[in-house]
């Protein structure tokens, strides 16, 4: 398993076949952990950071987390490779851009990834398609248990796990769910959802672009604080109250649009489909926007000739680093716009 | 011949087969004339206006101008019929909206039209497709001669023909040419054309929308004053200097775009074509914009499956009054957006 193999396929989480996939793109759980008796990363010199990185790398690969797991020395990786990992949601933008010794361990199916020396010594995540928080929870706890057999984590009897940033102290857990809410955006009800989320002390942000101006109609909902609740309580709240409510809002908005404005829906969706099959040049941003509409069209069964998986793969493969990896050369923005258009037309059976 | 028949077909000038039709949509010459010994229209009461209208109507229909000529009492016509005449460039917006006795005589092929009681007692025009100013000139002079056999026009030995507005005094002639300049607009050179036109004392305005913000990339170039030159001199200047220069500018810009940015052209043109075949709702304004791009694509032979005539007809038939006439009922803007989309898809072989 090498990094280059990643561009040939989409990770499990993007297959788009998980539960509630008409609205829920993916579920993610992340745990922050730090080594006991070792300073937080920002307090270490480069030598100590390197030492931590090498030790953690070794322990992670010994822990038996998955049948196949590979490790990327992010500090030594080229810019394109780092960008590729960001685009696949395997490392954070900060982790890609930092300049100290650091890395990431990834399972072959990409559901699990462990960043070494990000803000904390360890940041592990499980990422799954659709609404699979319970499964993700089981897996990340299992991964945490396996690592604790080899490593001693900083833990405080009263506060819980200690983390570099106070907002992560406690469980050190962040739960996030990526939602596709095109109908709520179209009807303008998305603001209501944002207010409801804030009332539940959830953070909402657009996957591409910020806040309500997000392109692509994708929104990530996550918990704000990790202190004072158990891991199980946090996940339970997501599963029993918050997410079902958002799903129901969006489904209701889609039905209402179809009932009252099916022409407008067919127009928007049909235009997106036609454009994607005709473009000769297209930006990342417009791609996200059009694919998002097409995805809604397929989920609403207004378009039956396109496979959901093809759309989900295009979301991933049309990103800058993926394109350049696929074409095996560095490209300017304009060259990418060409290559992206060619790829989309080819996948969607365009001219 | 009745007004209703007009909606079944496009006038000669829109067939798009005239000389230089890749750049020149149509040529128009208009003459303003007033009756000698009768006050200008603004100085007449309603009774006198009605008397003038009836007299002119009778004389025009007796003059033997064309084998078939019909007259529309614009004051008695419904709003939709008046709007239809405006959309076909047979009467002015002012003539449609006025509320005194008035009318228009039209030949069956719509190349000739004579407005009665517009700003002047008579406003006659010849409208032909492509660059046909010399032909239009011959025809309008012939029409003028025929009318002068039956009518005595106000003429001043020194100034020439007298008109209600001083800018028309002299020949009373206005020459205008409708140009399609999408490449110059795309390269930003259109401003240079506007400056050159002003230097030649020509007026330039967008056919749809105003000035450089015109949608559809159509621009009408016309002479500003009619005093101090003969009719022949005005037309000769258009034919020998001004228009050939504009045509050459536009053709050069198209070649340059194709040489250096053929991807960008194919992208724009292909998107327009794909959208037009996919829309389920579309406004007049967007229709003009997309048809304009498609027209350029056909003229540049980047699109070979569409007939220029189909495009030219759609420009006409997708306008509000034409749509309502065709569907034989009044429609709201949204109903028109539906009907317009259906018509376009049907004509361009869409889904």
Q: Please state, rounded to an integer, the average pLDDT across all residues of chain A.
A: 89
8 A C-beta contact, residue B76 and residue B98: no
Is the confidence at residue A151, as pLDDT, over 90? yes
From B267, B281, B351, residue closest to A263, measured CB to CB? B281
- Has domain A3-250 been given CATH number 2.60.120.10? no
pLDDT band at A317 (very low <50, low <70, confident <90, very high): very high
Q: Which helix (H) or strand (E) holds A29?
A: strand A24-33
Helix axes A284-299, A243-278, angle to 10 degrees: 120
Query: Residue A262: closest CA among chain B residues belongs to which residue?
Result: B280
Q: What is the pLDDT of residue B211?
A: 43
Q: Which residues of chain B does A351 touch, with a Cβ-Cβ cutoff of 8 Å?
A: 270
Of B143, B106, B144, B115, give the one whose Cα is nearest residue B53.
B115
pLDDT band at A13 (very low <50, low <70, confident <90, very high): low
Residue at token pair 């000139």: B137
Is the confidence at residue A3, as pLDDT, over 50? yes
3-state secondary structure string across A87-137? HCCCCCHHHHHCCCCCEEEEECCCCEEEEECCCCCEEEEEEEECCCHHHHH
Helix (H, G, I), strand (E, B) or coil at A157: coil
Of B289, B187, B262, B277, give the one whose Cα is nearest residue A280.
B262
From B264, B274, B351, residue closest to A275, measured CB to CB? B274
Q: What does R_g of chain A's alpha carbons equal in angstroms?
A: 21
pLDDT band at A255 (very low <50, low <70, confident <90, very high): very high
Between A and B, how many residue pairs show a Cβ–Cβ distance under 8 A? 46
CA distance B123 to chain A (A): 44
Judged by a CB distance cut-off of 8 A, whether residue A262 touches chain B is no
Q: Which residues of chain B does A342 touch, with a Cβ-Cβ cutoff of 8 Å?
A: none
From B271, B280, B281, residue closest to A278, measured CB to CB? B271
Note down pLDDT in tens along chain B; length 351 residues: 566 666 666 566 666 678 898 999 899 999 999 999 999 998 999 999 999 999 999 999 999 999 999 999 999 999 999 999 999 999 999 999 999 999 999 999 899 999 999 999 999 999 998 999 999 999 999 999 999 999 999 999 888 889 988 888 888 899 999 999 999 988 889 888 888 888 888 888 876 544 445 456 888 999 887 667 888 888 888 888 889 999 999 999 999 999 998 999 999 999 999 999 999 999 998 999 899 999 999 999 999 999 888 998 899 899 999 999 999 999 999 999 999 999 999 999 877
In chain A, where does the domain assigned CATH 3.30.590.10 lie?
3-250
Q: What is the mean pLDDT of residues A67-75?
A: 94
Q: Which residues of chain A does B281 touch, with a Cβ-Cβ cutoff of 8 Å?
A: 263-264, 267
Q: Which residues of chain A does B341 touch, with a Cβ-Cβ cutoff of 8 Å?
A: 267
How far is Cα A246 from Cα B186, in angstroms, rounded to an integer?
44
Of A110, A150, A148, A145, give the one whose Cα is nearest residue A126.
A110
Out of A56-70, A168-182, B43-57, least confident range = A168-182
DSSP B209: S
Largest CA distance in chain A: 64
Q: Which residues of chain A does B267 touch, with a Cβ-Cβ cutoff of 8 Å?
A: 279-282, 341
A-interface mutation test, from B270, B279, B341, most A Cβ less than 10 A away: B270
8 A C-beta contact, residue A230 and residue B248: no
Is the confidence at residue A208, as pLDDT, over 70? no
Work out the burial of residue B146: count CB atoms within 10 Å of its CB; fewer than 13 is exposed, 13-18 middle, 19 or more buried. middle
Looking at per-residue confidence, does A15 or B130 come out higher?
A: B130
Query: Hey, CA dihedral for A286, A290, A293, A299, is it positive or negative?
Result: negative
- The Cα-based distances of A312 to A16, A144, A294, A303, B124 in angstroms read 7, 30, 11, 15, 62
What residues does A205 pair with on adjacent strands? A220
Query: Please, how many CA atoms are within 13 Å of residue A6, restricted to the half-sphere of its CB?
Result: 32
Q: What percent of chain A has pLDDT over 70?
A: 92
Q: What is the pLDDT of residue B12?
A: 64
- The Cα-based distances of A270 to A16, A292, A304 in angstroms read 21, 12, 12
CA distance B330 to chain A (A): 20
Q: Which residues of chain B does A341 touch, with a Cβ-Cβ cutoff of 8 Å?
A: 267
Query: Hey, CA dihedral for B47, B49, B53, B55, is it positive or negative?
Result: positive
For A289-303, write each residue's pLDDT tens digit: 899 999 999 999 999
Q: What is the mean pLDDT of residues A259-277?
A: 94
Q: What is the mean pLDDT of residues A320-342?
A: 95
Helix (H, G, I), strand (E, B) or coil at B3: helix
pLDDT band at A56 (very low <50, low <70, confident <90, very high): very high
> CB under 8 Å to B306, separation ≥6 — which residues?
B273, B294, B297, B298, B348
Q: Which residues of chain A does B270 touch, with a Cβ-Cβ cutoff of 8 Å?
A: 278-280, 351
Helix (H, G, I), strand (E, B) or coil at B51: helix
Query: Please, how many CA atoms are within 13 Å of residue A112, restricted to the half-sphere of its CB?
Result: 27
How far is Cα B343 from Cα B349, in angstroms, rounded to an integer?
10
CA distance B322 to chain A (A): 22
8 A C-beta contact, residue B291 and residue B216: yes
8 A C-beta contact, residue A72 and residue A106: yes
Q: What share of chain B is helix, strand, coil (3-state, %, to 5)?
A: 50, 20, 30
Is the confidence at residue A210, as pLDDT, over 50? no
Judged by a CB distance cut-off of 8 A, whether residue A264 touches chain B is yes
Query: Residue A263: closest CA among chain B residues belongs to which residue?
Result: B280
Q: Which range among A152-156, A341-345, B10-14, B253-257 has the greatest average pLDDT?
A: A341-345
pTM: 0.85
Q: What is the mean pLDDT of residues A178-202?
A: 87
């Amino acid at each position: 398993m090498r990094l280059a193999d990643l561009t040939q396929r989409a990770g499990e989480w993007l297959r788009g076949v998980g539960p509630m996939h008409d609205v829920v793109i993916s579920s993610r759980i992340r745990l922050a952990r730090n080594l006991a008796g070792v300073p937080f990363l920002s307090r270490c010199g480069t030598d100590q950071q390197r030492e931590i990185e090498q030790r953690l790398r070794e322990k992670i690969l010994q822990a038996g987390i998955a049948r196949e797991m590979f490790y990327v020395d992010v500090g030594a990786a080229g810019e394109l490779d780092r960008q590729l990992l960001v685009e696949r949601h395997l490392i954070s933008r900060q982790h890609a851009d930092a300049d100290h010794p650091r890395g990431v361990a990834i399972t072959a199916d990409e559901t699990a990834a462990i960043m070494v020396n990000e803000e904390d010594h360890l940041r592990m995540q499980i990422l799954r398609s659709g609404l699979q928080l319970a499964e993700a929870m089981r897996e990340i706890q299992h991964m945490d248990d396996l690592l604790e057999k080899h490593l001693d984590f900083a833990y405080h009897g009263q506060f819980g796990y200690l983390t570099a940033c106070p907002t992560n102290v406690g469980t050190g857990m962040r739960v996030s769910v990526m939602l596709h809410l095109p109908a709520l955006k179209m009807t303008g009800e998305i603001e209501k959802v944002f207010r409801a989320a804030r009332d539940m002390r959830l953070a909402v942000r657009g996957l591409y672009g910020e806040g309500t101006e997000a392109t692509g109609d994708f929104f990530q909902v996550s918990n704000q604080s990790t202190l004072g609740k158990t891991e199980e309580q946090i996940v339970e709240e997501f599963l029993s109250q918050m997410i079902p409510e958002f799903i129901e809002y969006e489904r209701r908005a889609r039905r209402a649009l179809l009932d009252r404005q099916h022409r407008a829906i067919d127009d928007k969706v049909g235009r997106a489909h036609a454009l994607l099959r005709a473009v000769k040049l297209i930006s990342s941003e417009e791609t996200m926007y059009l694919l998002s509409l097409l995805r809604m069209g397929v989920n609403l069964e207004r378009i039956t000739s396109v496979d959901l998986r093809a759309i989900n793969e295009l979301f991933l493969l049309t990103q800058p680093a993926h394109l350049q990896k696929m074409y095996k050369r560095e490209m300017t923005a304009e060259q990418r716009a060409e290559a992206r258009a060619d790829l989309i037309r080819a996948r969607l059976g365009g001219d």
